[in-house]
Structure formats: C-alpha cells, structure tokens
C-alpha cells in the first residue's frame, strides 16, 4: 500500500495540506515501512486562488463554497498522488477530502506531526486518528 503525506520538509506532516511543498510517498507491506520518494508539489496556484477571490482566512484549507464558484481545482494535487491508496494528513477542507475519496484514496487524519512515527504507527495499526481533521479550522 502506498501512502501520500503532505509535507514542507520531508520530516513533518504539513499543517496545511493545500499549501504543502510536496508529498512524501511511503510504502507499507505488512508491518514494514519504506520511504519511496518525495514529490514536489506546486501549490502556488492554490494560494493564488485564495488571494484572488478574497479568501483571507489565514493559512488553512477551508471550503465555504468559493472554491466551486471560482473554478478552483485540486487536479494537480490529485495527479501528484494518483498511484497512492492512502492520504495521511493533519487536516484539510471537506472539498479536498471529497475529491481525494472520489479518486479512490482513503483519507486518514492524525495529530502526529512526525512522518516516520505516523507511518510506522499506521503500519502497526496503532495510529491515533483525529476525526476532526476534516473540519474547517483556524490555526
């Protein structure tokens, strides 16, 4: 199973999925984990969309209907993780959750920031999930 994890530094899970710099891609087979690669993600378009449409609600991923009205797309993000089965994140807006799920990814939220610890815990079935990760939130 391949897992995509939004990150800015390849060590910590990014707090803001839509504005992350890239994705750490890991593989889990049984209880063994392996980092496969890092994929850079050009998220500038996402930030520009928020600015252009007056989404001045801080640096968080939240959907209040503006994304759909603006033609905002998660296409680039979805393309970057197309071969993964799980998307492990700290949080994101409900529209991105729906888009990931519609493309066949299982979305898992956690409060664990350390990527290696989170992936290992997921592999062992010990990851503490955060069901409120998909809530619109301010940091």
All residues at 6 or more sequence positions from 22 whose CB lies less than 8 Å from its CB, including other chains: 6, 7, 8, 10, 38, 39, 40, 41
Strand partners of residue 106 = 86
Confidence at 99, pLDDT banded by 50, 70, 90: very high
Measured between its terminal Cα atoms, the distance across the chain in Å is 31
Q: Would you state the pLDDT for residue 31?
A: 86
User: What's the token pair of residue 114?
Assistant: 């350390």
User: What's the token pair of residue 35?
Assistant: 């980092």
Distance CA 85, CA 11 (A): 21
Confidence at 71, pLDDT banded by 50, 70, 90: low
Q: Would you state the pLDDT for residue 73?
A: 80
Confidence at 135, pLDDT banded by 50, 70, 90: low
Q: Would you state the pLDDT for residue 4?
A: 98
pTM for this entry: 0.78
As a whole number, mean pLDDT of residues 30-50 equals 75
Helix intervals (H) in the chain:
44-52, 66-70, 75-80, 94-102, 115-123
Q: Would you state the pLDDT for residue 66?
A: 38
Confidence at 132, pLDDT banded by 50, 70, 90: confident
Confidence at 57, pLDDT banded by 50, 70, 90: very low
Q: Which of 34-38, 40-44, 54-58, 80-84 has the lowest mean pLDDT?
A: 54-58
**Is the separation of the CB atoms in 110 and 127 below 8 Å?**
yes
As a whole number, mean pLDDT of residues 123-132 equals 90
As a whole number, mean pLDDT of residues 29-53 equals 72
Superfamily for the 2-134 domain: Dinitrogenase iron-molybdenum cofactor biosynthesis domain (3.30.420.130)
């Amino acid at each position: 199973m391949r897992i995509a994890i939004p990150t800015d530094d390849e060590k910590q899970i990014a707090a803001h999925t839509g504005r992350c710099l890239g994705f750490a891609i890991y593989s889990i087979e049984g209880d063994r984990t392996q980092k496969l690669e890092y994929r850079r993600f050009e998220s500038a378009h996402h930030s520009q969309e928020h600015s252009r449409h007056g989404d001045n609600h801080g640096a968080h991923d939240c959907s209040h209907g503006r994304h759909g009205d603006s033609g905002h797309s998660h296409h680039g993000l979805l393309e970057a993780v197309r071969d993964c089965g799980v998307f492990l994140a700290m949080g994101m807006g409900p529209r991105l959750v729906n888009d990931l799920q519609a493309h066949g990814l299982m979305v898992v939220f956690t409060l664990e920031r350390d990527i290696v610890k989170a992936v290992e815990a997921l592999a062992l079935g010990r990851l503490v999930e955060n069901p409120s990760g998909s809530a619109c939130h301010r940091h």
